[in-house]
Amino acid sequence: MTDKPTLSTSLSPALLHLYDLSNSVVVIIDVFRATSTIASALYNGAKSVIPVDSVPKAIEISKSIDGIAAGERDGMIADGLQHGNSPLEYTREFIEGKTLVLTTTNGTRLLHMALEKNADTIISGSFPNISAVCDFLLKEKKNVVLGCAGWKDRFNLEDTLFAGSVISRIKKEFTIHCDSSVMAEAMHASHKNNIMDFAPKLTHYHRLVERFGLIDDIKYCLTDDVANVLPLYKEGKLIVG
């Protein structure tokens, strides 16, 4: 018998209903690019990031609080917005002291799903803040659900590789009976030393690099600890936890 908390990996928002979130820390994972952008903005001094589910809501809320409305649909800056979902947009010069109101295709949607399912605690995770995420999970000692945002409910590899990297760091402190987690860890172990070489195999790489030329975004989003803060969801906002 063991008293270790459990760790599970949900590979798609369409599988999130299989997990009990009410006593879990849920890690929202949208490596390309929402959760990397959230880490970047908070690391560079944003007061908070407010995740919202529509462009009109992003515009309305940002006006009411003098914030920055930003968002992405299908990989591009959403119609009606001036700022998108690139972590490189949110430099200290631009975002320090401001509130980012963000809407994205997958990551912010998953966060709202976790809220509806009464998650105990919600944080966001990405390679740029992986150490902060792992430190928090080890400190909390609660059950963990690693929630991959995927792409329109499809499985994606970059979120899985991040989940695998987290698992490789913290698995000794958790009970893992979950093939998704075993797979994620194995995929990460196979590719951790050549992740930029492996990246061109990902469907999302093609979307971002071949269609939009965003190779610098990809590199940033696959780099550990370049924005090492913990985005913690509290009362409608992600703040540094």
Unique residue bearing structure tokens 């987290």: 166
Q: How far apart are CA 44 and CA 42, in angstroms?
A: 5
Q: Is 202 in the site for a copy of itself (CB under 8 A)?
A: yes
155: contact with a copy of itself by CB under 8 A: yes
**Dist. CA 173–CA 128, nearest whole Å:** 23
Residues in region 23-52 near a copy of itself by CB under 8 A = none
Number of chain positions touching a copy of itself (CB under 8 A): 27
Binding of a copy of itself at residue 74 (CB under 8 A)?
A: no
Q: Cβ closer to a copy of itself: 115 or 187?
A: 187
Q: What angle do CA 224, 77, 153 make, to 5 degrees?
A: 65
The distance of closest approach from Cβ of residue 198 to a copy of itself in the complex, given in angstroms and rounded to an integer, is: 9
Residue ranges of E strands in 31-111: 48-51, 68-73, 76-77, 99-103
C-beta of 120: minimal distance to a copy of itself in Å? Answer: 21
Considering the rule CB under 8 A, would residue 122 count as an interface residue with a copy of itself?
no
- Which residue from 102, 108, 78 is spatially nearest to 90, judged by alpha carbons? 102
**Structure-token pair, residue 145:** 């659900």
3-class SS of residue 77: strand
Interface with a copy of itself includes 12 (CB under 8 A)?
yes
By CB under 8 A, tell whether 180 contacts a copy of itself. yes
Instruction: Work out which of 60, 74, 96, 153 binds a copy of itself, going by CB under 8 A.
Output: 153
Q: According to the binding rule CB under 8 A, does residue 104 interact with a copy of itself?
A: no
Q: Determine the Cα–Cα distance for residues 238 and 241; give it in Å rounded to an integer.
A: 8
Widest pairwise Cα distance in the chain: 55
74, 96, 116, 179: which one binds a copy of itself (CB under 8 A): 179
Coil vs helix vs strand at 182: helix
Q: With binding defined as CB under 8 A, does residue 160 bind a copy of itself?
A: yes
Catalog residues that contact a copy of itself under the rule CB under 8 A.
11-12, 14-15, 18, 152-157, 160, 177-180, 182-183, 186-187, 190-191, 201-204, 206
